[in-house]
Structure 1
Amino acid sequence: MQSPPTRVRILDAAHELMLTIGLARATTKEIAKAAGCSEAALYKHFASKEDLFVTVLKERLPKLGPLVEGLAAEPGERSVESNLTEIARQAALFYAESFPIAASLYADPQLKRRHDEALRELGAGPHKPIEWVDGYLRAERSAGRIREDADTYAAASLLLGACAQRAFAYDMTPSGEPPQTREEFARGVARALLRGIG
């Protein structure tokens, strides 16, 4: 059986290491070693560790950006509640899977500062999902499917803030699990948000 292409092996190794030991400790040297290639080969495919991190988010985690951008391009295909439920479902999953990767950055302020600067240069960062959902909600507002005076940025922030909070709020509880399934949570958040902007 043929081995996967180098880029795929690097992404798989990076995803696994970032999940298990955190972004701060997952060096390009360790990632290359786990992928069975040289560090030079890694840099042929990715300009930096931050570039690799962004690619892992885009290609190995739930696809939040394309989902929301697709909804913004085609408002009216499904109900706003259905769309918000799907956004909440995917965002909850995205944050649950991305938090363990990025959490270690907060232990090293200098590393986090460098990482943030690199993400800015790449046009990426944790603000992007808010911009995507805001864009979707503005499209729905223009289509007359939510209130004309709806604060779409605040609504996007509330929706994604709830999803992000769910990702780490229950780790220390006895069960380690949220009280609702992801589906129940997504439906409830969508309905609650829609009461304010619908």
Structure 2
Amino acid sequence: MGSREEIVAAAAKVMREQGYAHATTKVIAQTAGYSEALLYKHFRDKTDLFRSVLAEELPALGATLAELTADPGQAPLRDNLVRVARLGLAFYVDSFPIAVSMFSSRELLRSHRERLRGHGPHLPVRAVAGYLRAEQALGRLKADTDVEAAAALLLGACFQQAFLATFEETEPADQAERLADVLLAGL
């Protein structure tokens, strides 16, 4: 593992423990065993590092959704929805402690939102809607299905379960099959 990967892993650890708002680049660099100057050779700022944590240290929700959208018919629809729900639950459980601190200040949230430049929490919902649209094109979903609403319902339920697990300091129940079945009943 190189210094960049070690810094990203350290950032994930520190951000999970302290939240994004309180995780400093100095502490992240120290946790990784490197200087803050080396951190800045790999990353422009903490936001750039945060994006790397989301992409590299959390469950691969985006990559899986891209794969499913490219070839939606490779598995039964229910299996794909269960897979999406499991990844959604894992992604939100891992990212919730990191991201929630951004909401501690309107200024911090505004600044972070501006620095993300279009990369934000709306992307997973869009990706699930894209996958569902691909399923619709195969005829595996009704033509009049509101895929955006279905995506929001599925990931919203995953987010809610992550919130509860984080609040209660427990592991979330694996409700992926139940969530997929309820969604399928409405589709």
TM-score (norm 1): 0.90
Partner of 2:77: 80
Choose from 86, 89, 114 the match for 2:111: 114
Choose from 36, 41, 46 the match for 2:38: 41
Residue type of the partner of 1:12?
A
Q: CA deviation at 1:13?
A: 1.1
Q: 1:157 to 1:107 in 2, by over 3 A?
A: same
Choose from 138, 141, 152 the match for 1:146: 141
Q: CA deviation at 1:172?
A: 5.0
CA separation in 1, counterparts of 2:119 and 2:40? Answer: 19
Q: Secondary structure at the match of 2:73?
A: coil
Q: CA deviation at 1:31?
A: 1.0
Q: Which has the higher helix share?
A: 2
Partner of 2:184: 194
Choose from 164, 170, 173 the match for 1:169: 164
Partner of 1:23: 20
CA separation in 1, counterparts of 2:107 and 2:166? Answer: 26
Residue type of the partner of 1:154?
A
1:55-74 equivalent positions in 2, closer than 5 A: 55-74=52-71
CA separation in 2, counterparts of 1:187 and 1:166? Answer: 14
Q: Secondary structure at the match of 1:156?
A: helix
CA separation in 2, counterparts of 1:56 and 1:171? Answer: 19
Q: CA deviation at 1:148?
A: 0.4
Q: CA deviation at 1:90?
A: 0.5
1:156 and 2:154 equivalent?
Answer: no
Q: CA deviation at 1:107?
A: 1.1
CA separation in 2, counterparts of 1:130 and 1:94? Answer: 13
1:7 and 2:4 equivalent?
Answer: yes
Deviations 1:52-92 (A, max 9, x none): 11110111110000101101110111111110000000100
Q: Secondary structure at the match of 1:124?
A: coil
The percentage of aligned residue pairs carrying the same residue is 49
Q: Secondary structure at the match of 2:44?
A: coil
Choose from 89, 112, 128 the match for 2:123: 128
CA separation in 2, counterparts of 1:48 and 1:168? Answer: 27
CA separation in 2, counterparts of 1:51 and 1:74? Answer: 31
Choose from 51, 55, 61 the match for 1:54: 51
Deviations 1:126-161 (A, max 9, x none): 000001100000000011110000000000000000
CA separation in 2, counterparts of 1:63 and 1:165? Answer: 19
